[in-house]
Structure 1
Amino acid sequence: MPGLTPPTGDRCRLEEFTRCSDSLLWKLMMSFYDRNGVESWSQGIVPHFITCNAFIGRAYAKVLLGFLHDCTCANSKIPLNKTEPLYIIELGAGSGKFSFFILQAIKELPEVFEFPAEKVVYVMTDFTWNNLKFWNDHESFRPYLDCGQLDIAIFDAVHDETIRLHHSNVVIGRSTLKNPICVIANYLFDTLCHDIFQIEAGQLKEGLISVGSRNLFETDALDPEIIKRFDNHFTYRVINENYYAESEPEDSCHLRRILRWYRDFFGDASDEASILLPIGALRALRRLTSFSCGRALVLSGDKGNNNHEQFRGLNDPHVAVHGSFSVMVNYHAIGLYCTSRSGFVLHDPQEEASLKVSVLVFTNQEDAVLATFQPSTMGHQSSPFYDLGRVQIHNWVGSDVERLSAARSLAFPNLCRAFSDSITSFGPNDFFVVQKSMKDDTERPTLKAIVALLKLSNWDPDVFYKFRDPILQQVSACTIKLRNDLCRNLPQLWRQHFMLDKNKDVAFEVGRLYYGLRMYQKAIRFYQTSIECSGEHHVTFHNMGLCYYSLSQYQLAFHHFGKALLLKNDYTKARAWQDKLHREKPYQFEDLK
């Protein structure tokens, strides 16, 4: 069995050389998330802020809205049926924090969108029941679950043929949806199985992997700790473009076309390239689009590349370890797949980015817009073969494919505009860079700059928490106008709060801010919320005592200082305040001496 293989050299070989998508890598990935559950995010084991904030929730909601506007226009390529549900399926929802932010943003849809709000159903999915139980019990999701706008489901995007919704008991399967399916996949495609290819001297090669550990012996081949000890080896062998003919019969034509594109583009004797093909993501897309008769929007953000020039050179794939592990997603290949299936893709062209966002649209209209397509003259040898529909594509090489995709996108102007405004012009990666730079590179950011950042973030609670100290240091001396700008939006900031890490006590920090603003009743309410969400703490009771003292409610002040001392009997600040009350109001506390 795996894990009992005798050591070879200075490593434990967990498996022989095998196709990457069939290797132990992906079983270890699933084992990691299954065993760690939501703690993968709540304990910071897996980085997640870049895709779990109010900014990206609003940005994605605007892109979805642009697509739906195009679907409701006259002569739409993908018309909507307003009597049927419109499902937005999030794959690998994980902690659920992103889901919460986009649900908050979708609340605004009824005001601007000509589609019944009650027909929009957001579905959070993952492959482990631990995560579903967390979502089901989370108070932030309760209003959405109760009204039917949210449902949850166990779903393995690579293997499962149907999605059974936990609350409504609806089963989504092949051709069951009357409206296009909308899919969201953030930091998911990099965790699904990939295959490895190289082009060298005009030949297409398959990469095989032997997963191993730096330990000489492993007792459990599915122990996620092995990820930290990876010692993987690779070897390559020549194949032909019919590589997927048997394993992926439904998509073999599209996959052959993709492999041929890379072979042709990098086929010169002097060219060489290393390519990861996200076969797990493509399987998931095939299955999900089958639910809605081939009509879909897919919005995905991940660490990856959409520029094929990045693939030049012969290199083994880089496996990045960060608690779990990930690889670079080949969004260029995903775009080729979508275009081959009569769709189009919009990529964010920014190359220096931790998060690359792309949107795919599958129309199920194989002759859509192809009449406008005129193949260009390419320096590479062309590879003519037929589309699955009625139209021949003469040159499936180079920029011809990009031109075809761009031509099809013209039928969706609102989507293109929303993607440009919310992703390309200034998107989630840009926001992440700005807030990180202000935090790490600015010694003392001004309150005015912090308020501007909070406004840009859509009043994200994590951004507030990161800058809580400079806010508190400056708020008492700032202008009335700036103070009003901050206070006016604190209720919205709190509405955006999603409890995940109890050690990140946002309610306590909002209470401190209100205390600094001398808004003592509001401060008390947030200190009470802090106790409810994060548990009792002596400093919280002490601060409540200060609020009551400032409100001249001395008995309550004394009582809360006493509660602080019960939790920490040597807490000198609370003891000093009790002594102060005894001196100032002895007649009120004679029975407490």
Structure 2
Amino acid sequence: MFNQKQRYRFSDAPIWALQRQYYEEEGLKAWNNDQVPQYITSNPMIAIAYAEMIFGLLQDRANKGYGSEPVMIVELGAGAGRFAYHVLRELSRLRDYAGIALPAFQYVMTDLAMNNVRAWKEHPALQAFIAEGILDFSRFDAMHDTSLHLELSDVMIRQGDLQQPLVIVANYFFDSIPQELLYIGDGQVYEADVYVEYPEHHDLLKPSELLNQIVLSYEHRRAAEYEQETYPYRDVIAVYKEQLEDSHILFPVAGLNCLERLNKLSQHGFLLVTADKGYHLLDSWKFAEPPELILHGSFSLTANYHAIQYVFEQRGAAALFPPHHFKNINVGCILNLEQPMDYAQTRLAYRRFIERFGPDEFFSMKVWVDRNLESMDLQQILSFWRLGGYDAEFFIQSTKRISGLMSDVNDEERQDLLTGIQQMWSSYYVMEQRYDLALDAGLVLFEMSMYEESKRFLEISILEEQDEVVSTVYYCLAICCFELELFKEASHYLRELLVLDPGHEEAMALLRINTESE
């Protein structure tokens, strides 16, 4: 039952405060088991694409003779941190592989929630980058802040401090911060105010529960201020008035203001690389209905890339978006730089890693793979795994199918599986949801009779999951040790197994045999 109904300007509606509260309270737990979607913008494949574009910018700056000052990369709303880790890993590998003179770089992970910043600082996977001095952190409020305070180096970045273009990374960012809601009808601009209807006892509900229960409705109000000469984004509004009819537009004033403030930090503009469920084509906004909240613990809306692109192109920037329509996620690149067309390596990287085949196409393929995994052969699984940068999540969901194909695996495929597991493990970023990746890897290797490698991963699993070790792990470890003629270790694992399962007949028989072999 609902008992309250209040009217708000859309950007002032309480949904935004609830969004903010949700992330501040949940911290990294918000991304547990994809409660807030993260895979599509955090997998190794999209990170590789971003690293290539950033690497292109480093090359372009070096080619222009600006190689002495470092390039700062700021990720807005870095979330669980997995994306930043994969970008830094790939960018470092590109730098080392190329072996050419480039500007140094520093990656800054930012978020509104200080709990997230603290968690990143302690994450084991990020420590090597911290030690190298190429990673820092900052609490950044995208709605208000005009500077960046770097937590580790205790440096404050203010207006004009940066001597290189600022690289801004914004994934699932513009769809999650306040937006204005406009309505275009009969050649006039209206604001679509929102009525928020609250359930009873709403003050007792958590933010995610309240977002799921409130009801939104809209009413138009004439808004002539958007047409005044003094309004900074009047030109794009004029385009909407001229070309749209009976259309609701989410207008990113907060997002544009955030970019304006970040732009002032550098003397040389910015490179924005962004991915979102957002439209850059004007036709996509024609006859658009009022927005519906996409709920996932928090909520998201559609990002208006058309407005962002138009505003900065009017100022001389170059905007890169795919020439085709997207299905799952739209990846864009805005070069708000002096002579942006001179940045050939950056633009070529976008062409190769986004436009030709990018994260949206990859995710569409993954949706198909998820549905058809049980009919795929090992070469198809290996190929897709390789395409995705040896992603751990894909391996975890594929282990059952891989096991089912094991009887027909040849030596070359065994070696490729081993290589893939090693690559995957070296780039694994542990998140709040605990996958026992070491166990899955160890069991696959065990099935391939790679006992030394299997033993390594199974022992890691025991160390990480001390309270939840299953008897199968001890049994497989005992077999590994037996095959490797490590008889004392084999006896140890068999005894551990019998503690968990005293009636395990095979373990008792093996222990007798093994005792005789010691």
Class of the TM-score when normalised by the shorter of the 2 chains = over 0.9
1:111 maps to 2:97: yes
CA distance 1:308–1:261, change in 2 (3 Å): same
Instruction: Name the CA shift for 1:13/1:340 in 2 (closer, same or farther; >3 Å).
Output: farther
1:35 aligns with 2:25: yes
Contact 1:514 1:523 (8 Å CA) reproduced: yes
- The residue number in structure 2 matching 1:231 is 215
Per the alignment, residue 385 of structure 2 pairs with 454
Structure 2 residue aligned with 1:302: 276
Percentage of pairs with the same residue: 26
Write the distance in 1 (CA, Å) between the matches of 2:203 and 2:211.
Answer: 14
| Aligned residue in 2 for 1:524 | 455
Q: Is 2:34 the counterpart of 1:44?
A: yes
2:486 is aligned, of 540, 553, 569, to 553
Task: Give the direction of change, closer, same or farther, for the CA distance of 1:217–1:490 in structure 2 (3 Å limit).
Answer: closer
What is the one-letter code of the residue matched to 1:132? V
Amino acid at match of 2:493: H
Deviation of residue 314 (structure 1)? 5.3
- Superposed counterparts of 1:312-461, under 5 Å: 312-313=286-287, 315-363=289-337, 365=338, 410-461=341-392
Any gaps of 5 or more consecutive residues in structure 2? none
**Is structure 2 residue 67 aligned with structure 1 residue 67?**
no
Q: RMSD of the TM alignment (CA)?
A: 2.2
Match of 1:486 among 417, 423, 426: 417
1:314/1:148 Cα in 2 relative to 1: closer, same or farther (>3 Å)? closer
| 1:533 to partner: Cα distance | 3.3
Q: Give the 3 Å change call, closer, same or farther, for CA 174–470 of structure 1 in structure 2.
A: same
The equivalent of 1:11 in structure 2 is 2
**Using the alignment, how far apart are the partners of 2:351 and 2:270 within structure 1?**
19
**Quick check: 1:12–1:218 contact (8 Å CA) kept in 2?**
no
Cα displacement (A) at 1:243 = 6.4
The answer on whether the counterparts of 2:197 and 2:214 sit within 8 Å (CA) in structure 1 is yes
Match of 2:126 in 1: 141
Q: Look up the match of 1:382.
A: none
Aligned amino acid, residue 300 of structure 2: S
SS in 2 for 1:37: helix
Alpha-carbon offset, residue 588 of structure 1? 6.2
Cross-structure match for 2:81: 96
Q: CA deviation at 1:294?
A: 5.5
1:301 aligned counterpart, secondary structure: strand
Q: 2:267 aligns with which of 275, 287, 293?
A: 293
**TM-score normalised by length of structure 2:** 0.94
Task: Give, as a single letter, the amino acid of the residue that structure 1 aligns with 2:251.
Answer: L
The alpha carbon displacement at 1:502 in A equals 5.1
Q: Quick check: 1:578 aligned with 2:507?
A: yes
Tell me which of 238, 244, 249 is aligned to 1:260.
Answer: 238
My pick for the range that moved more, 85-94 or 64-73, is 64-73
**Residue 173 of structure 1: how far off its partner (Å):** 1.4
CA contact 1:208–1:236 (8 Å) conserved in 2: yes
C-alpha distance in 2, partners of 1:535/1:500?
18
Count of matched residue pairs: 515
User: Structure 1 residues 484, 582: CA separation in 2 closer, same or farther (over 3 Å shift)?
Assistant: closer
Give 1:151-170 correspondences, 5 Å limit.
Answer: 151-170=136-155
Judged with a 3 Å threshold, the aligned counterparts in structure 2 of structure 1 residues 585 and 416 are, in CA distance, closer, same or farther, namely closer
- Cα deviation for residue 244 of structure 1 reads 8.5
What is the identity, as a one-letter code, of the residue corresponding to 1:265? Q
Question: What one-letter code is carried by the residue in structure 1 that aligns with 2:13?
Answer: S
Partner amino acid for 1:546? I
Distance in 2 separating the partners of 1:293 and 1:261:
30
Distance 1:307 1:327 in 2: 17
Give the equivalent residue in structure 2 for 1:216: 200
Query: Over residues 429-483 of structure 1, what are the superposed CA-to-partner deviations in whole Å (9 max), with x where a residue is unaligned?
Result: 1111212211213432100001101111121122211211112222342122222
Distance 1:304 1:34 in 2: 25
Which protein has the bigger helix share? 2
Q: Give the counterpart of 2:403 among 451, 472, 478.
A: 472
- How far 1:176 moved relative to its partner? 0.9
Letter in 1 for 2:367: K
Q: Equivalents in 2 of 1:443, 1:324: separation in Å? A: 33
CA shift, 1:352, in A, is: 3.9
With normalisation by structure 1, the TM-score equals 0.82
Query: Aligned partner of 2:303: which letter?
Result: V
